[in-house]
A = this chain, B = another copy of it.
Amino acid sequence: MSARRSMLLTISAGTDAFVDALARASRRGEADFSKAEPVVREILDHVRHEGDATVLHYIEKFERRAPRSLLLRDYGGAEALARLPAEARNALEYAAARIRRFHEHERQAMFGATFLLDGKTSVQGFHYEEGGIGLGLRVRPLRRVGVYAPGGKARYPSSVLMSAIPAQVAGVDEIVLATPLAGDATDDAVLAAAHLAGVTAILDAGGAQAIAALAYGTKTVAQVDKIVGPGNAYVACAKRLVYGAVSIDSIAGPSEILVVADETADPAVVAADLLSQAEHDEDAYCFLVTNRADLLEAVQRELATQLESLPRAAIAREALKHHGQAFLVADRKAMAETADMIAAEHLSLQVDAPETLLVSIRNAGAAFVGRLTPEAAGDYVAGPSHVLPTGGVVRFGSPLGVHDFVARTSLIRYSADALRGEERTICALARLEGLEAHARAVSVRCVVPRSGADKPPARD
C-alpha cells in the first residue's frame, strides 16, 4: 500500500476495525432530521391549514422567485422536447422507451393474470373458486401520485423518467411532477422528460412546501395518494412526516455503490465505477469488497489517476474521503457475506461467475452483473428504475417500480352451501374470541329464508 493517503480506507477482515467498520456501515441509514424537522413541521402545518398562499410564500422565501402559476397543466413538454438538440432528444426518447419496456414486463409478469371481474370487465390479479367460495386479489392503480424532482445542481431529467414512467405503466390517472422550474431554456430537458413520462401536470415548487401541497392538497393542487422521488434533507424529512396521510417510497439518503471484485476485475473499471458514484455528492458511499490486496492497490492508483481529469473531482474526492472504504476479505464466501451485510443500493459484481456469487447475496437494490455492466447504464437506459433504496433499506425495500403505484383489494364471495358448510367453524372461532355478533352474522344467513318482499330467496 502506498504511504500517501490512499483513496479508499482499507479495512482487513479479522480485525476489530473490520467489525466496527461493518457495524458503522450498517447504521449509515440513520438520518438525523433534528435540524430540518422543526422548520419542516412548521411548513407542513401552514400549508395544510392555509393552502396555496402559504406555498407561494415559502417559494418566495426559500427559492427567491414567484411562479406565475403553481400548477401547470399545459406545460409545453412536447415543444420542449422538440427544442432539445437532436442527440439529447434521441437519448431521452431511447431511455424512455427502454424504461417503459422494462416496467411493462414487470406489470405483465408480477401482477397476475387478467380475469373478468363481472363477466366482462378485465382486471389484473388472480381469482379462483373452491367449494363454492370465490377468492382473489384485484390489482388497482392509484388514482393520483406526486413525483418529486429536485431543482438546482441535482436536476436530473433521467430521474423524472425513472420515477414517472412506472406510474404511467401502472395506469395511474394523474401524475403530478413537483419541481422548481428555472423559467428559462434550462427547463427544457426536464419538461421533455415529463412529457415522455406521461406527467399530467407540473407543480412548480420544490422543498417541503411542495411535499405539503401534494400530501394535504390545496385549492390548486389535488391531494395525491403517494409521493415518490428523491430530494434533499428537507424533502426527505417532509416525506417522512406526511407518511400516513399519503404513501411514500423509501426515504432517499446519499447514493451508494458496492463493487465486489476478484482477480478477474479490471482496476480501471472498478475505479471508474467508484468515481461515478463519488461524483454525485460529497456524502456518496463508495464501497469495495475484494479478496485481492494487489487489485485493491491497483484500484487506489487508478482512482488517483482518474481523479486528475474529472470535472467534479472536488466532490468525488470528498466522497472518497468521507465514505470510501475497501473491505479486504479472505474468499468468495466472505465477499458475499460482507456485501449482504452492507446491503447496498447498487451492487456491482466484477468477479468470476458473478451470478453464482449473487445467489448468496440477498440484500441489493440493483445488481450489475459482470464486469462489462456499468452502474451508469442502469442510471440511464437499462430499464429498471434508478430510484432505489439507500442506507441499508434494501434489507426490506425494493427498486421503485410498477408495484409502487398499485394497491390490491381482496375479493371474497360465498355461496349459500359453502357458508353453511363453514358455519360451525366460523362460529367456533368467533366465540373463542368472544365475538358473538360475528357468529350471528354468519348464522343469520344460514337460516332457511323467510318469505316477504324484503327477503328474496337465497341466491349464489
Interface hub of A130, A244, A311, A416 (most chain B Cβ within 10 A): A244
A interface size (C-beta, 8 A): 146
A436 near B310 (CB under 8 angstroms)? yes
Distance in Å: Cβ of A27 to nearest Cβ of chain B: 10
Distance in Å: Cβ of A32 to nearest Cβ of chain B: 12
Binds B, one of A74-82, A206-214, A418-426: A418-426
Chain A interface secondary structure, helix, strand, loop or mixed? mixed
B429 near A137 (CB under 8 angstroms)? no
B398 near A408 (CB under 8 angstroms)? yes
Asked whether A59 is an interface residue with its Cβ less than 8 Å from the other chain, the reply is no
Asked whether A278 is an interface residue with its Cβ less than 8 Å from the other chain, the reply is yes
| A452, closest chain B residue (CB) | B266
CB under 8 Å from chain B, chain A span 422-460: 422, 425-426, 428-430, 432-442, 444-445, 454-456, 458-460
A377 near B442 (CB under 8 angstroms)? yes
CB under 8 Å from chain B, chain A span 205-247: 225-226, 240, 243-247
Interface string of A393-425 (1 = CB under 8 A from B): 111111101010001111111111001001001
Collect the chain B residues with CB atoms within 8 Å of residue A110's CB. 110-112, 125-126, 137
Q: How far is it, in angstroms, between the C-alpha of A408 and the C-alpha of B368 when the chains are bound? A: 14
| A137, closest chain B residue (CB) | B106
A396 near B156 (CB under 8 angstroms)? no
Q: How far is it, in angstroms, between the C-alpha of A217 and the C-alpha of B76 when the chains are bound? A: 52
Asked whether A196 is an interface residue with its Cβ less than 8 Å from the other chain, the reply is no
A117: contacting residue among B358, B396, B437, CB under 8 A: B358
Q: How far is it, in angstroms, between the C-alpha of A276 and the C-alpha of B436 when the chains are bound? A: 8
A426: contacting residue among B275, B372, B377, B399, CB under 8 A: B377
Interface hub of A268, A395, A412, A460 (most chain B Cβ within 10 A): A412
Collect the chain B residues with CB atoms within 8 Å of residue A95's CB. 425, 429
Asked whether A279 is an interface residue with its Cβ less than 8 Å from the other chain, the reply is yes
Given known pairs A134-B369, A244-B31, the reply for A105 and B92 (CB within 8 Å) is: no
A412: contacting residue among B31, B117, B268, B367, CB under 8 A: B367
Asked whether A140 is an interface residue with its Cβ less than 8 Å from the other chain, the reply is yes
